[in-house]
Every structure is written in structure tokens, then in C-alpha cells.
């Protein structure tokens, strides 16, 4: 039996220990905010925070996070008012919105690690997250805004 | 800018779990009918727009099922004053789910913070055409949505006037209430809802539309999209997020070659994977079959992870069929050879052959653009629940009406027994106009007798897309001694989208010819446009801006080549080719013009010149740039909008490319939400840069050689333009609205290549750029 804390709640799994965390979250725990984009850690749509680190849940097995704390977009802030989320809304970042949960989780992890990133640091840290709609200019501006106070 | 910061009232999808949502949706469907009260549709025969009432006509009435203008279908007012407005087009990132309801709210004087948007099901008889493609939503629905809002407002005003016993001319709806200023009396929309429902539907022709100077929302760009809060909190509902009780998860192995067939399969290895429950065949249709499934083998599991693992473990034998020979390297040679010989003439003015022979100089450009995959961030996915002769679908589809039709045909049940629920689309770009993934889910659910979600992996998406065509565009421009272009021959060779509908189609359809080939606007005395034959060996489909990508690439690159050949400035060369301000009427039999009447949507070179001049002014054309940098410009009319782009590129001594700045000017006529226009154009620059730098799907032995974002790369944030500026041309008083979603894409790649030429002296004629600058 694998135990993992997701958004502060203890969850358990006694199925395939190799099941990617992404599918545990989406299909078993019903937390569909984390998205499937590539399955190979190439696009970042599935980004969640494990302890304090951004992790691609599509290539992380449920076993890898046993005993650890996973935060998904649903658990980032109780009212959805994390500075990154607020900045995202102020800048009107999303188009289709599908990649945005992953983008937001990546940005939140970046700011935990580096509260005042430069534009180049933002671009570097966010480069693993693809947005096919091309919201990059606004993503960069929103991360910057979140880091300077929303 | 101010944005609505109270999104609690704006959710289209309720927050409380999807099972509950289904119920809510059904209840509110009834309340919509009840809201303004009258069941039974009052549907105006399309087209509803008449010359007397409006300054322009559109092609909306010619779309399947035309336009429905009826507030009782689209608007409900609750006793609590909440106004519910139906969004009947699909949201894939353009903002249409906000923009169209916003038009209704504007015209009915509703307060946007008290408006709820609900997504309509697929039902074109009821809602009119729902095909969310062709950059048509605003241009076809601005006036109908205004009429719907005005009719609802009129009914509320009439109800208030009756209540007070005053003439209707003395009352006026203002910000969610009706006021009688003579007596100072007021009634909220909620208080009037029941009475308004009993009012007769006003005649469309007699409706009084608001004076645009009184607009509170339209054209202002201060309203955020309705799904903004849900998107940023993970609550927004996409196709893959639908969960039904007892639902099974399916992943399918499809024939690796288009038209291939399953010979045999061994399910045992898959069945050993924990969580896998069943392995079953999926019905396939022979190619081409429009949007019918390819067939294959499905692995059914308790979650998607197990289904993927099971699918990958399957042992399969395929018969590749006739398309197993498709090879992109060989096919390119065929296209190039075809482009060097005369082909079907699709536009002829003057005598291009003769003029090319007598020209002082002939500039020749042969351009190659490979297949592209859509690669929307959300791979195709659908949920189906088929019970007996009834089917319910939840899917991210651009064409909910078409999906309903195709599901009914595929299952052999009446269309009325099919419900298509439209979720948000995690990107579409034309891919999700084809509902094959929903048909797969329907077939599997029918056979399993349980709800099924079919999830495509990224590899499935890249391997089995309806691809953007591959093309060779060859242009020969004949110049006289003064450098003036006197002859233009453009041969466009590419497999046609028609080949997905009919076997053996080898010539472009009128709608493809009309995307930048025969509607070419230059003022040249001798023009020949030709379309040699090209056979298809895979599924070809619409990709954001479609044939405009290769045509604009060729035409606008050729402008740069002519500028170089004559030693002139790119922008001056471009303006000289566009010529005098005039209406262009090409000598073409089936002029498509994006389905719009040429009277209201002519090819207007004054507008084309204007966007060039505007972008040149704002984008500081001719500015000094550092060494290794270059500026390029391109303009293109598509989806009846006019767009010009300037790209600044920097190429370092190793051939590495960066884009410091992009400037784009768009004239899309009357507009609704300039903030979303800017986002579309910003995004188009990224898509343009992606296809220019990396975009290539290639075939060997009939199989797609790419598989995921590692070998089908798209632009990431660290290589995106440092700055993208968007300038919107203010519309004239009666300028009809035109496309926004697609037209930003075509001019980007040629502007980039013209910039690369300015920076390096290298002319790139073959996409993608890849390592060509590193040589």
C-alpha cells in the first residue's frame, strides 16, 4: 500500500506501483486540474509540486512520491488566490488554458526557489512548459508581476 | 485595464463535480426555454440579414443550418435577475465563449457581472451553424447576437411599459433594469422576467440597435474571458476531465499507415498489465472516409495509465496497404517536378507566358513547405455513453453539430437520439473539426455497454493527425527594364483536403485556391495561377490558416526576392506591387472569398496598403538595427482580414536565431474584444515561428517519422520573441467584422525569412529552417 499526501490529504494506492502519478491524480483521485500533454516530460502540462520542487507527474511513478507531499493546481491556494494565479488573471494570460495549470505550478515553484527572478531566469525556468497557443509574452509578464507583488 | 474580478458569477461549467454538472446542465436547459418563456422554436429562415436593416451582408446564411436569431433560444432571465446566455460556438482559445455572449449582453443592457454563460449542445437546427472554424464566429454572429440582445431588451421594455401603463417609447433598459424616467420608476430584469416571457417576439427588421457610441463592452477589451478563474484554478472542464460513473478508459493502437489494416493481434501481453480489463477491435473505415475512425485495437483499463501501458504491450501485425510507399523525400521531388511544368490554369489575366519570355529579368522562387501537425496541447479525447439507441458524447469538438450527425450515422441511430456536450477545447487549430476520436468512443461504448473515455497519446496525435498539406509553390516574376513586375506565374502543387472526402481528388478545391493563390492582390498586367495535380497519401485537413501558409510564404518571400533583385527597399517593393488603392476583381470562376459576398468583403488594396503603412510606422520600419540583425516585412489578406507583420531577427555567428521584436498590424473591421485580438496575434507569431523554425512531419514507408515534442518541436518561451506589439486598425462606421483567429499566422514566416535575408544575405526557400543557417 503506497501512501501519499495530496493537497494535505492522505491518499493510498494498492495498484501498480509504476502507475504514473499523473494518472493516479486524474483518474483515481479525480484531480483533473493536472493535464496530460505528452507523457514524456517534454511539455510540462502535468507539472505538480512535490515537497518544494516542480515535478513532471507523467514520468513520476506513484511509488516515487510515497510518503511525500504533492501539491496540484487544486491545492495551490484555497481560494485560487496564490500570487501567481492572481497575476495570471490580471495579465489575462490564457488562451485555450489547457497548459496553464502546469505553467502556474512551474511558476509557483520558481518563485519559492527564487522570489525575484530576472526575465532571463523566468524564460529559462519556464522553458520546459509548452504553450501551443503561444501565451509566452504574457506568461513572462505574469511571473514577473507575481514576483513583484500583485 | 480593468478585468472582471468576480468570476464566481461567470462560470459556464459549475464547480461541483461533473456528475452534478450534468444535472445542472439539463435543468438549466429547461429553464432557458422557460426563462423568456416560450417553448417551441421560433426560427427565422436564414439568411436573416437584409440590406435594409444592415450595412453589410455576410455568408452566414449559406452555412449549414444558417443563423437562428431568437432570444428565446439564446437568453434566459431568472427571477433573481441572473441572465443566462448560451454560447453555441466552441471555445478553443480565441475567446469566442466570452465574445458572443458579451455582444448579447451589450445590446440587451445586461450587467456583465450578472451574466452566466452556458455552453450549448450540438444542435444546429436549434442554434444555427456551430462549426467553429474559418475565423467566422464574430463576422457571422456580430449582427445576429446584437439582434438577439436587442429583441430580449425590447421584450423586457414592453413588459415594463405594460406594468406601468405607459407607452413603450417612454421606457428604456439601462444596466440590468428598465427605467421610466418621467416618473422615476424602475424595475429590475429579474422582476420583469416572467412578464417579458409573455411578450411577443419583436420583428427583427424593426429592432432598434444601440448606437455604438453607447457601447459599454464592445470594442473596449476590458472584460476577461469567462473561464479565466477556472483555468487558473484547475477547475475548467476540458474533454479529458469528464468523469462518469462506471467509466472505462481506452487507448487505441491504430494502423501506422493511413489506409492500413489490422492483420492479427495478440492481446495476452496487454492483459497481463495491472489494471487492464479488456482488449477489443475497433471498427475502421477504408481511406478516405471523411472523419471515420481508422480502426485498430483498443485496450480498456481502469485508468489511462494502465491503458497506455497495455496498448504499448500489444503485439500487432498490420497490412500497410497502398500508402506504405509514401516517402517525403521522393514526394518532394515529384511536387517540384510538377511545379516546373504547366498545370491547370485557375486564374489568367493578360499573357503571362509571353510576358515572361520578353521580360528583362525573371526572378524565380521555388518554395517547399512540409506537412504540419496541429499538436494542440490537449490531444484528441472523448467520452461516450451509448445506451440502446441513445448516445451521449462529451468532447472537445469544433463542430458539435457535425459530430452529432456523424455519431448518429456511425451508430445507425436517429440524430435526435444523440447529445453532444461540448467541453472546453485544449487548443483546436482545425484538428478538432474532425470528430474521429468521438466516433471511436461511441463505437467502444456501444460494444462495452459502459461509458468510455478514449484518450489519444501525443504519439497517437502526431501519427494520426489530419495533417496540414505539403506543398511546392513556384513563382516566376518577370521584370521590365525599370524593375517593374510585368508578369507573375504562380504554380501551387499540394495534396488537397478534398482527398480526405473523395478518393483520387488531385486538384485544390475552390476554397483552397482562394487562400492566397487566385486572390493574390498585386497590380500586375499578366498573371497566371496554376494548380498541377498532386495525389494524397495520408489524411489532409485544415490547419490554422490552411493554404494561406504556403501561399503567403511564397508570395511574400518573392516580394523580398524582387526587392533584392532590384536593389530596392522591401516595404517600397511591396507597396509598388500592391499598386493603387482599388477593389481587386480577379478573373476567377469560383472565387471563394472565404464564403463572403464580394460586395461587403471586397479585396480592398487601400486596406492592404494601410496595414503595411501602419506597421511600418509603428514598427519603425527602416530603423537602425545592430550587426547580425535584420528586418523583414510581409502582408497578407486572409479570412477577409488584412494583416502586416514586421519581424526583427538576430542571427549570431553560429547561425543561432533569436527574435528581438515582432510588430503586427491587423484590420479586422468592426471588433468585439481587442484584448483577445492581441492575444490571438501574439500567439500567431509563436505558431508562425514554430512552423518556420521546426515544423515538419515527414513520412518514410508510409509512416510518420516524428512522435512527440522532442522531434516535432514547437517554440518554447526561451526562444519566443522578446516583444510582440499588436496594432488594430480602428474600423469605419460600417466596416464588417472579419477573421482574427487564423490570419495572424500566414505573414509571420515570410517576414521572418525576409528578415533573415536582410541579416545574413541567405534566402531560405525550404521550411523548416532547421540548421540551414548553421551551414
- Which residues 6+ apart lie within 8 Å of A2 measured at CB? A12, A13, A14, A17, A62, A63, A66
Cα angle B169-B175-B176, degrees, rounded to a multiple of 5: 90
Structural domain of residue A42, as residue ranges?
Answer: 1-69
User: Which of 61-120 (B) contact A at CB < 8 A?
Assistant: 91-95
What is the pLDDT, as a whole number, of residue B486? Answer: 98
Enclosing H/E stretch for B511: helix B510-513
Do residue A129 and residue B229 have CB atoms under 8 angstroms apart? Answer: no
Average pLDDT of chain A to the nearest whole number: 98
Measured CA to CA, the distance from residue B726 to residue A137 in angstroms comes to 12
pLDDT tens profile B416-453: 999 999 999 999 999 999 999 999 999 999 999 999 99
Strand partners, B584: B603
Enclosing H/E stretch for B269: helix B268-271
User: Which of 82-101 (A) contact B at CB < 8 A?
Assistant: 85, 88-90, 92, 94-101
Q: What does the DSSP assignment read for B131-190?
A: ---TT-HHHHHHHHHHHHHHHHHHHHHHHHHHHHTS-GGGEEEETTEEEETTTTEEEEHH
Q: Are residues A86 and A55 in the same domain?
A: no
Q: Are residues A28 and A51 in the same domain?
A: yes
User: Which of 306-345 (B) contact A at CB < 8 A?
Assistant: 306, 308
Measured CA to CA, the distance from residue B121 to residue B399 in angstroms comes to 10
Do residue B687 and residue A74 have CB atoms under 8 angstroms apart? Answer: no
Q: What is the ipTM of this complex?
A: 0.99
What is the pLDDT, as a whole number, of residue A150? Answer: 76
Number of domains in chain A: 2
Interval B178-197 mean pLDDT? 97
> What's the pLDDT band for B598 if we cut at 50, 70, 90?
very high
Do residue A24 and residue B375 have CB atoms under 8 angstroms apart? Answer: no
* Minimum Cα–Cα distance from A44: chain B residue: B377
Residue B47: is the preceding peptide bond cis (ω within 30°)? yes
Asked if residue A92 is part of any domain, the answer here is yes
- Which residues 6+ apart lie within 8 Å of A26 measured at CB? A32, A34, A36, B240, B303, B304
Q: Which residues of B touch A133 (CB under 8 A)?
A: 93, 377, 427, 683, 686
For residue B690, the SS3 value is helix
What is the pLDDT, as a whole number, of residue B54? Answer: 57
Interval B517-528 mean pLDDT? 98
Asked if residue A121 is part of any domain, the answer here is yes
Asked if residue A4 is part of any domain, the answer here is yes
Strand partners, A56: A47
Enclosing H/E stretch for A3: strand A2-6
pLDDT tens profile B535-586: 999 999 999 999 999 999 999 999 999 999 999 999 999 999 999 999 999 9
pLDDT tens profile B304-335: 999 999 999 999 999 999 999 999 999 999 99
pLDDT tens profile B706-716: 999 999 999 99
Q: Which three cell numbers stand for residue A68?
A: 511525500
**Per-residue pLDDT for B146 more than 50?**
yes
Asked if residue A98 is part of any domain, the answer here is yes
Strand partners, B298: B252, B280
pLDDT tens profile B240-278: 999 999 999 999 999 999 999 999 999 999 999 999 999
Asked if residue A75 is part of any domain, the answer here is no
**Per-residue pLDDT for B7 more than 60?**
no
pLDDT tens profile B485-503: 999 999 999 999 999 999 9
Asked if A81 is an interface residue toward chain B (Cβ–Cβ < 8 A), one would say: no
**Per-residue pLDDT for B50 more than 70?**
no
Q: Are residues A1 and A65 in the same domain?
A: yes
**Per-residue pLDDT for B1 more than 90?**
no
Asked if residue A136 is part of any domain, the answer here is yes
Q: Which of A15, A45, A69 is a domain's end point?
A: A69
Q: Are residues A28 and A61 in the same domain?
A: yes
Q: Are residues A49 and A7 in the same domain?
A: yes
* Minimum Cα–Cα distance from B309: chain A residue: A19
The owner of cell 506504405 is B324
Asked if B398 is an interface residue toward chain A (Cβ–Cβ < 8 A), one would say: no
Do residue B233 and residue A128 have CB atoms under 8 angstroms apart? Answer: no
Asked if residue A76 is part of any domain, the answer here is no
CB B462 within 8 A of CB B371: no
What is the pLDDT, as a whole number, of residue B591? Answer: 95
**Per-residue pLDDT for A37 more than 60?**
yes
Measured CA to CA, the distance from residue B661 to residue B504 in angstroms comes to 44
CB B21 within 8 A of CB B50: no
What is the pLDDT, as a whole number, of residue B733? Answer: 79
Q: Which residue has the higher pLDDT, B5 or B426?
A: B426
Q: What does the DSSP assignment read for B311-328?
A: HHH-EEEEE--GGGG--H
Enclosing H/E stretch for B387: strand B381-387
Residue A82: is the preceding peptide bond cis (ω within 30°)? no
Do residue A95 and residue B683 have CB atoms under 8 angstroms apart? Answer: yes
* Minimum Cα–Cα distance from B224: chain A residue: A92
The owner of cell 443563423 is B67
> Quick one: what percent of chain B has pLDDT higher than 70?
93
Q: Which of A12, A36, A69 is a domain's end point?
A: A69
Q: Are residues A3 and A59 in the same domain?
A: yes
Residue A128: give its domain's CATH number. Answer: 1.10.150.120
Q: Are residues A43 and A96 in the same domain?
A: no
Best probe of the A interface among B234, B309, B463, by most A CBs < 10 A, is B234
> What's the pLDDT band for B698 if we cut at 50, 70, 90?
very high
Measured CA to CA, the distance from residue B368 to residue B469 in angstroms comes to 11
CB B116 within 8 A of CB B722: no
Q: Are residues A90 and A123 in the same domain?
A: yes
Identity of the residue in A16, A97, A134 whose CB atom sits nearest the CB atom of B231: A97
Q: Are residues A60 and A2 in the same domain?
A: yes
> Quick one: what percent of chain B has pLDDT higher than 90?
92
Residue A6: give its domain's CATH number. Answer: 3.10.20.30
* Minimum Cα–Cα distance from A121: chain B residue: B718
Q: Nearest to residue A144, comparing CAs of A112, A126, A119, A113?
A: A119
**Per-residue pLDDT for B22 more than 90?**
no
Q: Which of A42, A69, A96 is a domain's end point?
A: A69
Asked if residue A74 is part of any domain, the answer here is no
**Per-residue pLDDT for B121 more than 90?**
yes
Q: Are residues A46 and A95 in the same domain?
A: no
The owner of cell 506513484 is A62
Q: Which residue has the higher pLDDT, B294 or B590?
A: B294
Q: Are residues A2 and A40 in the same domain?
A: yes
Do residue A35 and residue B427 have CB atoms under 8 angstroms apart? Answer: no
Q: Nearest to residue B247, comparing CAs of B383, B378, B381?
A: B383
Identity of the residue in B3, B428, B685 whose CB atom sits nearest the CB atom of A134: B685
Q: Are residues A86 and A48 in the same domain?
A: no
**Per-residue pLDDT for B380 more than 50?**
yes
**Per-residue pLDDT for A61 more than 90?**
yes
Q: Nearest to residue B380, comparing CAs of B421, B420, B440?
A: B440
pTM, entire model: 0.94
> What's the pLDDT band for B34 if we cut at 50, 70, 90?
very low
Distance from CA of B659 to the nearest CA of A (A): 13
CA B667 to chain centre: 18
Amino acid at each position: 500500500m503506497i501512501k501519499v499526501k495530496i493537497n494535505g490529504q492522505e491518499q493510498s494506492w494498492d495498484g501498480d506501483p509504476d502507475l504514473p502519478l499523473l494518472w493516479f491524480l486524474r483518474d483515481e483521485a479525480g484531480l483533473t486540474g493536472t493535464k496530460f500533454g505528452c507523457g514524456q516530460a517534454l511539455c510540462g502540462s502535468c507539472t505538480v509540486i512535490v515537497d518544494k520542487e516542480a515535478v513532471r507527474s507523467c514520468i513520476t511513478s506513484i511509488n516515487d512520491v510515497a510518503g511525500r507531499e504533492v501539491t496540484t493546481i487544486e491545492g495551490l491556494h484555497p481560494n485560487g488566490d496564490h500570487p501567481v494565479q492572481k497575476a495570471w488573471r490580471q495579465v489575462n494570460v490564457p488562451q485555450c488554458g489547457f497548459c496553464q495549470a502546469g505553467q502556474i505550478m512551474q511558476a509557483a515553484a520558481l518563485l519559492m526557489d527564487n522570489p525575484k527572478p530576472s526575465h532571463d531566469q523566468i524564460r529559462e525556468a519556464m522553458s520546459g512548459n509548452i504553450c501551443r497557443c503561444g501565451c509566452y509574452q504574457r506568461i513572462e509578464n505574469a511571473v514577473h508581476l507575481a514576483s513583484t507583488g500583485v | 485595464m480593468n478585468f472582471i474580478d468576480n468570476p464566481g458569477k461567470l462560470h459556464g461549467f459549475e464547480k461541483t463535480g461533473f456528475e452534478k454538472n450534468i444535472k445542472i446542465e439539463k435543468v438549466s436547459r429547461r429553464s432557458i426555454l422557460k426563462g423568456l418563456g416560450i417553448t417551441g422554436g421560433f426560427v427565422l429562415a436564414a439568411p436573416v440579414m437584409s440590406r435594409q436593416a444592415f450595412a453589410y451582408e455576410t455568408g452566414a446564411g449559406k452555412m449549414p443550418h444558417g443563423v437562428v436569431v431568437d432570444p428565446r433560444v439564446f437568453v434566459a432571465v431568472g427571477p433573481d435577475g441572473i441572465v443566462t446566455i448560451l454560447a453555441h460556438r466552441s471555445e478553443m482559445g480565441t475567446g469566442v465563449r466570452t465574445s458572443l455572449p458579451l455582444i448579447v449582453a451589450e445590446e440587451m443592457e445586461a450587467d456583465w457581472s450578472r451574466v452566466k454563460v452556458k455552453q450549448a449542445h450540438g444542435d444546429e437546427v436549434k442554434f444555427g451553424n456551430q462549426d467553429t472554424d474559418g475565423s467566422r464566429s464574430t463576422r457571422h454572429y456580430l449582427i445576429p447576437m446584437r439582434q438577439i440582445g436587442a429583441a430580449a431588451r425590447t421584450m423586457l421594455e414592453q413588459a415594463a411599459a405594460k406594468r406601468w401603463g405607459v407607452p413603450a417609447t417612454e421606457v428604456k433598459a439601462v444596466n440590468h433594469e428598465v427605467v421610466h424616467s418621467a416618473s422615476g420608476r424602475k424595475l429590475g430584469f429579474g422582476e420583469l422576467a416572467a412578464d417579458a416571457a409573455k411578450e411577443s417576439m419583436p420583428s427583427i427588421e424593426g429592432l432598434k440597435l444601440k448606437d455604438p457610441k453607447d457601447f459599454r463592452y464592445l470594442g473596449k477589451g476590458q472584460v476577461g474571458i469567462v473561464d479565466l478563474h477556472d483555468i487558473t484554478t484547475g477547475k475548467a472542464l476540458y474533454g479529458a476531465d469528464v468523469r462518469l460513473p462506471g467509466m472505462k478508459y481506452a487507448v487505441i493502437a491504430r494502423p501506422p499507415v493511413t489506409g492500413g489494416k489490422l492483420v492479427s493481434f495478440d492481446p495476452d501481453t496487454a492483459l497481463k498489465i495491472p489494471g487492464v480489463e479488456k482488449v477489443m477491435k475497433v471498427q475502421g473505415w477504408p481511406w478516405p472516409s471523411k472523419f471515420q475512425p481508422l480502426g485498430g485495437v483498443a485496450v480498456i483499463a481502469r485508468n489511462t495509465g494502465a491503458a497506455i501501458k497495455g496498448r504499448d504491450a500489444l503485439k500487432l501485425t498490420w497490412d500497410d496497404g497502398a500508402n506504405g510507399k509514401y516517402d517525403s523525400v521522393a514526394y518532394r521531388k515529384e511536387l517540384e517536378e510538377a511545379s516546373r511544368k504547366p498545370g491547370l490554369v485557375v486564374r489568367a489575366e493578360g499573357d503571362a507566358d509571353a510576358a515572361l519570355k520578353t521580360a528583362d529579368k525573371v526572378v524565380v522562387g521555388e518554395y517547399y513547405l512540409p506537412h504540419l501537425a496541429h499538436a494542440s496541447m490537449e490531444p484528441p479525447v472523448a467520452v461516450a455513453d451509448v445506451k440502446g439507441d441513445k448516445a451521449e458524447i462529451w468532447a472537445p469538438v469544433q463542430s458539435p453539430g457535425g459530430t452529432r450527425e456523424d455519431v448518429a450515422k456511425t451508430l445507425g441511430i436517429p440524430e435526435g437520439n444523440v447529445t453532444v456536450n461540448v467541453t472546453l477545447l485544449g487548443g483546436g487549430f482545425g484538428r478538432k473539426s474532425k470528430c474521429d476520436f468521438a466516433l471511436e468512443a461511441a463505437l467502444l461504448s456501444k460494444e462495452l455497454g459502459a461509458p468510455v473515455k478514449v484518450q489519444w497519446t501525443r504519439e497517437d496525435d502526431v501519427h494520426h493527425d489530419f495533417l496540414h498539406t505539403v506543398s511546392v509553390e513556384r513563382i516566376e516574376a518577370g521584370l521590365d527594364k525599370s524593375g517593374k513586375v510585368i508578369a507573375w506565374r504562380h504554380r501551387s502543387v499540394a495534396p488537397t483536403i478534398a482527398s480526405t472526402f473523395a478518393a483520387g481528388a488531385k486538384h485544390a478545391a475552390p476554397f483552397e485556391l482562394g487562400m492566397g493563390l487566385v486572390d493574390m492582390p498585386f497590380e500586375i498586367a499578366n498573371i497566371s495561377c496554376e494548380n498541377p495535380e498532386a495525389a494524397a497519401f495520408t489524411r489532409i485537413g485544415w490547419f490554422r490558416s490552411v493554404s494561406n501558409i504556403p501561399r503567403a510564404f511564397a508570395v511574400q518571400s518573392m516580394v523580398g526576392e524582387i526587392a533584392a533583385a532590384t536593389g530596392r527597399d522591401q516595404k517600397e517593393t511591396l507597396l509598388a506591387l500592391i499598386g493603387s488603392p482599388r477593389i481587386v476583381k480577379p478573373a476567377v470562376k469560383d472565387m471563394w472569398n472565404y464564403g463572403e459576398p464580394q460586395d461587403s468583403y471586397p479585396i480592398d488594396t487601400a486596406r492592404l496598403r494601410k496595414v503595411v503603412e501602419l506597421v511600418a510606422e509603428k514598427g519603425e520600419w527602416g530603423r537602425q538595427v545592430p550587426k547580425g540583425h535584420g528586418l523583414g516585412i510581409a502582408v497578407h489578406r486572409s479570412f477577409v482580414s488584412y494583416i502586416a507583420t514586421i519581424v526583427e531577427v538576430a542571427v549570431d555567428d553560429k547561425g543561432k536565431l533569436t527574435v528581438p521584436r515582432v510588430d503586427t498590424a491587423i484590420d479586422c473591421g468592426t471588433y468585439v474584444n481587442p484584448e483577445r485580438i492581441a492575444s490571438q496575434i501574439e500567439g500567431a507569431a509563436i505558431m508562425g515561428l514554430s512552423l518556420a523554425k521546426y515544423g515538419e512531419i515527414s513520412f518514410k514507408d508510409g509512416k510518420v517519422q516524428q512522435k512527440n515534442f522532442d522531434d516535432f518541436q514547437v517554440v518554447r518561451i526561451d526562444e519566443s520573441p522578446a516583444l510582440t506589439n499588436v496594432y488594430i486598425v480602428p474600423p469605419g462606421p460600417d466596416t464588417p467584422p472579419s477573421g482574427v483567429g487564423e490570419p495572424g499566422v500566414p505573414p509571420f514566416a515570410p517576414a521572418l525569412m525576409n528578415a533573415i535575408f536582410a541579416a545574413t544575405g541567405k534566402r531560405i526557400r525550404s521550411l523548416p529552417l532547421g540548421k540551414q543557417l548553421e551551414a
